[in-house]
Structure 1
Amino acid sequence: MADELWREEREFWLGGVAETARKIDPACVMVFANTGILDRSGVIAALQSVPRWQEITMTDRATVETDEVCLLAYRATLRRAGADAFRALCTTTWIRRAGDWRIIQHQQTPL
């Protein structure tokens, strides 16, 4: 299960807005240093106003999982065209809803 969610996590960063929105649970809360605490609609609006990432490296990975919840923690290095690399410590909590995995929490601490 964790391998599948690490692939989903990668796509969360690199995929299109519609695909990313599909992964976000209606009850989701995300925390960002620059924009603060956002609910699902705030996250989707923010994603529509910035270019998507082109490359991600996830290191120092840690996973905690149960049958219905999986927490991923990692150090991310991201790149997009014409910009400096972005580095952060991240956590994402995935929850199983009707057999599908959805993001219920995501947090970034810039480095």
Structure 2
Amino acid sequence: MADELWREEREFWLTGVAEATRKLDEACLMAFAPTGILTRRRVVESLSSTPRWQEITMTDRASIETDELCVLAYRVTARRAAAETYRALCTTTWIRRDGDWRIVQHQQTPV
């Protein structure tokens, strides 16, 4: 299961807004410094107004999982066109709802 979710996590960073939005649970919360805590609605708004990432590398990967929940933790290096390289420590919590995996929590701490 974790391998599948690592692929989903990567796609969340790189795919278009519609595909990324599809992965978000209705109860999703995200935390970004210095932006703050975002509800699903604000995350979708942010995705729509920000260029998507072109390239990412996830290292120092760790995960814990149950039948209905999986937490991914990792260090990311990400790049967008005409922008500085972004580096952060991240966690994402995926929850199984009606057989589909959805992001219920995501957090980034820039390093």
Q: Under a length normalisation based on structure 1, what TM-score does the superposition of the two structures give?
A: 0.99
> What corresponds to 1:79 in structure 2?
79
1:14-60 alpha-carbon deviations (Å, 9 max, x no partner): 00000000000000000000321000000000011110000000000
Is residue 2:64 matched to residue 1:37?
no
* Deviation beyond 2 Å, 4+ runs, structure 1: none
Paired amino acid for 2:91: T
CA distance in 2, matches of 1:20, 1:7: 13
Paired amino acid for 1:105: Q
Superposed CA RMSD in Å reads 0.5
1:95 to partner: Cα distance: 0.2
CA distance in 2, matches of 1:34, 1:16: 24
Fraction of identical pairs, as percent: 74
Is residue 2:47 matched to residue 1:47?
yes
Q: How many residues align?
A: 111
SS at match of 1:89: strand
> What corresponds to 2:58 in structure 1?
58
1:10 to partner: Cα distance: 0.2
> What corresponds to 2:104 in structure 1?
104
Q: Under a length normalisation based on structure 2, what TM-score does the superposition of the two structures give?
A: 0.99
CA distance in 1, matches of 2:104, 2:66: 15
> What corresponds to 2:88 in structure 1?
88
Is residue 2:24 matched to residue 1:2?
no
